[in-house]
Amino acid sequence: QVRLVESGGGSVQAGGSLRLSCAASTYNSYSCMGWFRQAPGKEREGVAFIHGGDGSTYYTDSVKGRFTISQDTARNTVYLQMDSLRPEDTAMYYCAAALWRSSCTVVAQYEVNYWGQGTQVTVSS
């Protein structure tokens, strides 16, 4: 069992920045950790992921160049730095862990083994 504890999030004006953190109870070098987000009335979508072993990353097109995912393996923690935020980034953000993966390209919801509780990000115009 892996427990994911999220922190960060909140409300910010467009153009601002926020940082999300996700601390895992255990570390798996063959896992992908990252975030999905879900806006009201929309499907949950994968945002960014990082591989626990080689540090390779994946970003959905809409956040490329604005969001940066990183990890501190000593603390079993993954960070999502969100810059140049837009109102369309408003959503509930969920930390996710998909185990035993060789690549983090396109992590589907059904491939996620563990979820965080979610943290709200609100961007006002």
pLDDT at residue 80 in the model: 98
84 φ/ψ sector (left φ>0, alpha ψ -120 to 50, else beta): left
Contacts of 86 (CB under 8 A, 6+ apart): 14, 123
DSSP 100: S
Contacts of 78 (CB under 8 A, 6+ apart): 21, 22, 24, 33, 34, 50, 69, 70, 71, 72, 95
- β partners of residue 77: 23, 72
Instruction: Convert the pLDDT of each residue in 49-103 to its tens digit.
Output: 999 989 999 999 999 999 999 999 888 999 999 999 999 999 999 999 999 888 8
Instruction: Convert the pLDDT of each residue in 11-62 to its tens digit.
Output: 999 999 999 999 999 877 788 999 999 999 999 999 999 999 899 999 999 9
